[in-house]
Structures are given as C-alpha cells and as structure tokens.
Chains A and B, each alone.
Chain A
C-alpha cells in the first residue's frame, strides 16, 4: 500500500481535504498533518496527526513515524487561520501589503506558506528517494501577478511566499530528479473553498482575494474538486515526465 502525506487537509471544503479523500480512494494510506483537530473526524480512514508544519521539530517528529512514503502534497497556507492562535479566527480584515505589514505578519505568513513546504520536503526526501515518488506543492496566482492592494483577506507576504514555493519546486526537482522523485506545483486562482466563502461572508460576494470575479475569462470560480483532481493527477503516472513545473489553474485569468 502506498503512503501519502497531505498537509493542511483537515478543514472541510478545503483543497487539501479533497486531495486526502481522493488519494485514499486511489488506495493510498493517507497521513494528514494539520492543527485543526475538529476536522479530523471528517477524514475517516486517514491517519490524522496534530502538527504545526511551520515548526521544523514538529515536522521531523511527524515524518519519523513513517516507514515508507510515495506522495507528499503541501496544501497548508493562507494569510489567516494559519497558526494555533488564529486557527478559528476568520479572515483578518483589511489588506496587509509589504509596506504596511508587521514583522510578525511577515514571519508568520512566510512560515506557514513557504517554510512549512521546505520542512516537509526536507523530511520527506529520504523516504521518497527510496523508491521514487511525487511531491505536489500549492502556490497561487498571487505569485504570478501579485495581489491588488486593498484586496480583503489577503496579504503581500502571501504573494511573496507563494512565489518562493515555485522556486522551491524547481530547485527540489533538480535535486530529486535522479532519485525518481518528481516535484511539481499548482497555482490556483480563485477557488470556491470554505476559505473563499468566509472571505465573501464579510466582503462583497463579487470579489475574491485576488480581485473582482467578473474579470475571470471563464466567468466562474474554480471548484475544489477540479483543483484536487489536478493535484492527484500530478501524483499519478499520467504526469510521469513532468517535474519542476507549475500548472496554473485559474480559468484563464492569468497565463504565465
């Protein structure tokens, strides 16, 4: 039985949640690393571990219990609900740009979105390298185009950290290619996740964290199912010759 680790999968209606369920349906043993314990019962059959993936020691402890690993999906991220203290806080109002965020915001958001990916990849690499495997990271359209100042529920550090995830993906692809480990990334635009609903509950319905929804050429936001299916495809043999690649999934709102 193949083993997969999915981070940031405990919140219902999240991309990670759907990825964990789909990998399990494909016959994998799925280990979920997340802080949001209330979500664990919604992942029956998965091994849910309470873990702050922005803490390197906690990550090392979580991976130390694994004998085998074939797939790692790094879904943890966001500009809010990313630490144990704000896990249930809802969206932070206002926009924290690079020029008006606190050093604490910068560190917290970078740690959740970028450092966590580094820690998990570093811990996973020796296990994945034993027989080959796949890593999928989750970046954002924000890494491609930045975030319009004023966008509610998002932040400048988030855009920067997500761009870092793309760079990390390329670097790791070079380092792990010879071990048969592929490392790829998806960059979602606006996706109808639980998080989007929370933002829209406190702001205008017609706006997402990356700007007005009417500017999306496909005329709709993406679904969690579509995004999760893409991530699962990047774990499968269909993409056996892809590595270092970021696939944009944004309804044609930005073409890199």
Chain B
C-alpha cells in the first residue's frame, strides 16, 4: 500500500492493460479515476479526442498525482462504435485510408496530447506529478501487423514523452512511456493474434527470450514501479516490456 493518499487517472481502463493498471494502483491504495470511451461498470465515459470531454473529466478528477494514458489501439473507437473489432489480418498500406489514418492518430496520439494539456498545468501548480504514456514495440522496431498509422502514432508518443519530460522536469513532474510487446489481452486473444496455427503460435512464443506472451499484470507492475519511489528520478525514458523480443531504440 505504497500509494495511499494519492490520486490517479487511468485512461482506456475498460479492459486489458488499462483495467489491470487500475486494479494494481487501487491495490496500492491510490484513489483511481478510470475512464474509457466504452461504457463498462463504473467507468467515467469520455472521448479523449474531444477537449470538451476532457474538461468535464477534469472537473471530476481535479489534480491527479498520476496520469496513466493507456487509451489507444490499432483500431480507433468512435462514440458510435466504442469497441471496434481488432483486425485479424495484418494491416498494409493499401488497407489504410486517410480517415482511418486520422482516426488512429487521434485515438492514440492526440488523446495523450489533450489529456496532458489538461492535467499537466494542474500538476505544475502543485510542483509534482507523474505521467506514464503508452508507446508500443511497433514504434521501436516497426510492425508487420498493426499498420503505419498505429506505429507512427506510437512513435509520436515517444517524442511527446521526451519533450514533455524536458518541459515539465523543472516542475518536479516525470514523464515516461512504456512500450509493450506482445501482451495477451482479452481483445488480442479474441482477434487470434499470433494464433494462425498452433505451430505458428508455439514458434512465435519460442522467439521471445522469456518464452511467453506478456500479461496485462506485467505492464501494471511497471506502472506501479514508475509511480513509486523507484520512478522518482526516471524521466524521458521509454521502457520496453516485451520479454526480450526487442531491446529498444
């Protein structure tokens, strides 16, 4: 219970990594405000590509100690379709039109920008805070699956993270990113990623030095670390959490 008395905002908290992060920070004693565009349980519903929604969110949350920007994904949700199907096939350039490009950039990159823009000034006033953004292995090494829009948006997250770390450092705020590798979230399992055949799946896992897919809790542990004493002087970093599949920059 090392985060008692602290307040956290977790976006994209309906399932998978976001849900695991929410649970972990709660277990550490933090008061967690959880949001998602998809209505589930007691989440605060918000479209983070819309600054008005974020302003309303801020009215509820106030000034958090931790902002964890998990929201995003290779397929952009909308208010009409809040839980779009994940692609079961690789997305190639020809599959991606301008609208999809814009929507995926907005869901993954603009959302983090707008959330930081809303909450960083509040943290600055208090001279403390920690922001954790979500990049992806797709931004580190490229990807043959998720499409250029998602990889580019996540690359943008890394640059946004480094720049905000410089800008907010003087105010005692750390800004870092986590770049997950293959994490077996319910949605990714459902889409059958890496499961074209049992042999292919086995070969895929064998190629990972730790010989397994990641779990949402593996990511939540790193978030907890960054929110603890261990994260006090870490800023501007992108932490690869991928079982050794790729060693970063």
The answer to whether A and B interact is yes
Residue positions of A touching B, CB distance < 8 A: 170, 173-174, 177-178, 180, 182, 189, 191, 216-219, 222-223, 225-227, 229-230, 232-233, 236-252, 254-256
Q: Mark B212-249, 1 if CB is under 8 A from A, else 0.
A: 00110011011011001111111111111111100111
Between A180, A217, A254, the greatest number of chain B beta carbons within 10 A of the residue's beta carbon is seen for: A217
**Residue contact A238 to B249, C-beta cutoff 8 Å:** no
**Residue contact B209 to A252, C-beta cutoff 8 Å:** no
Give bound CA distance, A178 to B210, whole Å: 6
Smallest distance from the beta carbon of B56 to chain A beta carbons, Å?
31
**Residue contact A250 to B233, C-beta cutoff 8 Å:** yes
Q: Collect the chain B residues with CB atoms within 8 Å of residue A255's CB.
A: 161-162, 165, 236-238
Q: Mark B154-181, 1 if CB is under 8 A from A, else 0.
A: 0000000110011001101011000001
B211 at the interface (CB under 8 A from A): yes
Smallest distance from the beta carbon of B132 to chain A beta carbons, Å?
13
A226's closest neighbor in chain B, by CB? B232
Give bound CA distance, A180 to B249, whole Å: 24
Listed by A's residue number, 16 A-B pairs whose Cβ atoms lie within 8 Å are A177-B211, A177-B243, A217-B165, A222-B233, A229-B232, A233-B225, A233-B230, A241-B210, A241-B218, A242-B240, A245-B240, A247-B239, A248-B236, A249-B237, A252-B175, A255-B161
**Residue contact A219 to B232, C-beta cutoff 8 Å:** no
Which of A219, A237, A247, A250 is the one whose CB lies under 8 Å from B170?
Answer: A219
Give bound CA distance, A230 to B226, whole Å: 9
**Residue contact A243 to B230, C-beta cutoff 8 Å:** no
**Residue contact A223 to B209, C-beta cutoff 8 Å:** no
Which of B170, B215, B239, B249 is the one whose CB lies under 8 Å from A242?
Answer: B239
**Residue contact A248 to B237, C-beta cutoff 8 Å:** yes
Q: Collect the chain B residues with CB atoms within 8 Å of residue A256's CB.
A: 237-238, 248-249
Between B209, B238, B242, B248, the greatest number of chain A beta carbons within 10 A of the residue's beta carbon is seen for: B209
Give bound CA distance, A219 to B231, whole Å: 16
Smallest distance from the beta carbon of B234 to chain A beta carbons, Å?
5
Smallest distance from the beta carbon of A128 to chain B beta carbons, Å?
14
A-B contact count (CB 8 A): 127
**Residue contact B230 to A252, C-beta cutoff 8 Å:** no
Smallest distance from the beta carbon of A251 to chain B beta carbons, Å?
5
Please count how many residues in chain B sit with their CB below 8 Å of the partner chain's CB atoms: 42
Q: Collect the chain A residues with CB atoms within 8 Å of residue B218's CB.
A: 240-241
Residue positions of B touching A, CB distance < 8 A: 161-162, 165-166, 169-170, 172, 174-175, 181, 208-211, 214-215, 218-219, 221-222, 224-225, 228-244, 247-249
Give bound CA distance, A177 to B240, whole Å: 15
B162's closest neighbor in chain A, by CB? A255
Closest 4 CB pairs of A and B: A177-B209, A217-B169, A238-B221, A255-B236
B221's closest neighbor in chain A, by CB? A238
Q: Collect the chain A residues with CB atoms within 8 Å of residue B233's CB.
A: 189, 191, 218, 222-223, 226-227, 249-251
Smallest distance from the beta carbon of B76 to chain A beta carbons, Å?
27
Q: Collect the chain A residues with CB atoms within 8 Å of residue B166's CB.
A: 217, 252
**Residue contact B229 to A225, C-beta cutoff 8 Å:** yes
Give bound CA distance, A248 to B236, whole Å: 8
Give bound CA distance, A240 to B224, whole Å: 13
Between A237, A242, A254, the greatest number of chain B beta carbons within 10 A of the residue's beta carbon is seen for: A242
Q: Collect the chain B residues with CB atoms within 8 Å of residue A237's CB.
A: 221
**Residue contact B169 to A243, C-beta cutoff 8 Å:** no
Q: Collect the chain A residues with CB atoms within 8 Å of residue B211's CB.
A: 177-178
B158's closest neighbor in chain A, by CB? A255
Given A229-B228, A251-B235, A240-B162 contact (CB < 8 Å)? no
Give bound CA distance, A221 to B233, whole Å: 8
Smallest distance from the beta carbon of A256 to chain B beta carbons, Å?
5
**Residue contact B234 to A248, C-beta cutoff 8 Å:** yes
Give bound CA distance, A174 to B243, whole Å: 10
